[in-house]
Structure 1
């Protein structure tokens, strides 16, 4: 073990400290020598307790920054290099017996992957590699060992043999206690990667353990310290600050623009903001096979202005719509499909309008039908390229396959019903178009109130591109991301930043902040009237 091992261990522990909690990681040792001494200690203790592990012969320094641990050679092969048939019932029982010895003496191996399970020529199992192990281990660490070994052996021998031998050798209580740790974050990297290719292997193991031990499936342990969504929010905030802060430098100029603003545009700005809720209500009514009441549906969309601030990506508003439709007599699957269909229609309309306004803006800016030369259309193409690049990532494809594809499949039936009813199709698409055009017009009127700027085509294209970019932001209503995208788009289209910044803020006040209080009142009315 040399300096590279030490550096890798420090990086690994630092990552786990930032990413996970309650996984039993101790502070890194002060030196490589202490790391080596700890591994030697656990190896000797485990062997003395009766575990089958190679005998440590010596520990010696090698040069200035390396150490040597020498063990007896065991003539055998690790489990990951053997065929699945090698994991016979006697072998499984022997492995669980070794873990029982460790548990009895408070030793947690913490890396029970198949590469650390060796079978000698007689078929007896041996445990290897004590570098990550702990003595005087807590029950949580001992339970994590059981969870890791369950998955490792299920990969080799199948779920039922792994669980049955575990229960037989450790007892149902010890195996049931591992259930909260039966999750990917508790596993070693090699075991976690292998499990990905076996479907819902962990779910099958949890089901089998619950059945054998006679316990309900418990809630999984919360091991996340920082979630990927938290990192994404931080990245969005940094990007927003990078874009917005330079634009906020000329405070005096912006204040002058605000003082000179033509507030006669305010009623129109508020009217176009209110128009978006009418459009949303019309679209939802068109997505539902049954007839829904007009006024409560409109009030529900206003209440979404409050509920949508409580969760990112419009989830609060979607949940409220589903609940409203349920209480209005619509079956839950139909209600879920209707809400998904309404949002899908909004996405389709958004793309169509993006192409229309991009072409229109290209004409107005270049004097010819060459939308590709427009910076706005270039932004739309950039969004398309980023989307395609995201689909090249396996994790994104798995997310789409697991979350979005089932929703789209359920929506197919709703689409078929709507296509058979031209009136509902008109309501669905017309309401979606009214919503998008209402937001677009509100932004344009806000620029007019602050002194004017680009024409309607350019402002519309800027809004549509900015809204598409901000839709990926994990903040309610694209907060922060939409402001940055719109300001950057308006400034890029030739608008002075002293006008663009207050215009965008005026637009967001009218469409995001002012509807919160009426939305809260609408939400309260829906609850009192038993609509949600």
Structure 2
């Protein structure tokens, strides 16, 4: 006869015990592993992109080495000034006041993510996470992203119209006027986008509720924001100033290389090109916008080689220069649980 108690007999489990221990360690380690992956992911993506497109950065940096350094300092000044435009618009799109330092840091980090993923997905994802970390509800945060995305092209188009009214001679060249085929393609793309959104909202039920909540919140916030002069100035003033600051960077780089176009011509070329093809889902607008800017500058009388070199130099200052610091700031914000 066995002298073991019933609970300790072979093949029997003690009362209240289990052979499978609770996965406490795994659950505790999973968030740490995920956060560590998120910290290193921006640097990994930047490294992959640098390996793929290193020739562009090398050529642009080499050509800038022989440019006028004083004009390059002016271009660098406007580049740094442009880093403040996105936080200004973000704050203008939200009734709640955000901490200025963290907002600027988050948008600097969002700029790095924006140049990796197309259609501003990376920047919006970083901003959405930042807003939720500040206690902003999901519907309101989503509404602010939608308002930000809507105000920027509207403001850019209004600035372009002001240029056309103030400087009608810029349209004397017919090469900048889109033909009927191009206009039909743009209209068709807009119609398809609106129709696709409507189909998704009406057929996919899980999307309907959050989208309708975000739409109601957006309409409410728009009414509230436009009763505050400070928010109006930050939202619309920042959105109108952003393309002009970017055009000033391009003009300064062109002047450093000996480009003969005036600031008005360069700004008009940049506004027209970014308005025409800015909706193409490329990372940071790189590619379609660059080609369109070069085409517009050549149409206004600039040499092809100088126009292309100026655009490459512009991309080196606005994309490659802040890319690594932006990725480091993004990793630091994730490490400190700000994102």
Normalised to the residue count of structure 2, the TM-score between the two structures is 0.72
C-alpha deviation, 1:257, in angstroms? 7.5
Q: Residues 380 and 339 (structure 1 numbering): CA distance in 2 closer, same or farther, change over 3 Å?
A: farther
Cα RMSD, aligned residues only: 2.9
> Matched residue of 1:476: which SS?
coil
1:362 aligns with 2:168: yes
Among candidates 473, 497, 513, match of residue 304 of structure 2:
497
More strand by percentage: 1
Other-structure match for 1:398: 195
Q: Residue by residue, what CA displacement relative to the aligned partner does 1:261-305 show, whole Å, maximum 9, x if unpaired?
A: 212212221221121220110111111111100011011111012
1:486 aligns with 2:283: no
More helix by percentage: 2
C-alpha deviation, 1:449, in angstroms? 0.9
C-alpha deviation, 1:425, in angstroms? 1.2
Among candidates 118, 126, 143, match of residue 320 of structure 1:
126
1:38-437 equivalent positions in 2, closer than 5 A: 261-363=67-169, 365=170, 371=171, 373-375=172-174, 378-379=177-178, 385-391=184-190, 395-402=192-199, 410-437=217-244
CA contact (8 A) 2:91 2:98 kept: yes
Distance in 1 of aligned mates of 2:128 and 2:234: 18
Other-structure match for 1:441: 248
Distance in 2 of aligned mates of 1:385 and 1:271: 40
Q: Residue by residue, what CA displacement relative to the aligned partner does 1:105-146 show, whole Å, maximum 9, x if unpaired?
A: xxxxxxxxxxxxxxxxxxxxxxxxxxxxxxxxxxxxxxxxxx
C-alpha deviation, 1:433, in angstroms? 2.0
CA contact (8 A) 1:345 1:429 kept: yes
Q: Residues 498 and 298 (structure 1 numbering): CA distance in 2 closer, same or farther, change over 3 Å?
A: same
C-alpha deviation, 1:391, in angstroms? 4.4
* Higher RCO structure (Cα 8 Å, ≥6 apart): 2
Aligned length: 272
- Over alpha carbons, which structure has the higher Rg? 1
Q: Residue by residue, what CA displacement relative to the aligned partner does 1:403-439 show, whole Å, maximum 9, x if unpaired?
A: 6996666532221111122221111111212322211
Unaligned runs of 5+ in 2: 1-55, 202-210
Among candidates 507, 515, 523, match of residue 314 of structure 2:
507
C-alpha deviation, 1:401, in angstroms? 2.3
Distance in 2 of aligned mates of 1:410 and 1:401: 19
> Matched residue of 2:279: which SS?
coil
Distance in 1 of aligned mates of 2:182 and 2:263: 22
Other-structure match for 1:103: none
CA contact (8 A) 1:257 1:451 kept: no
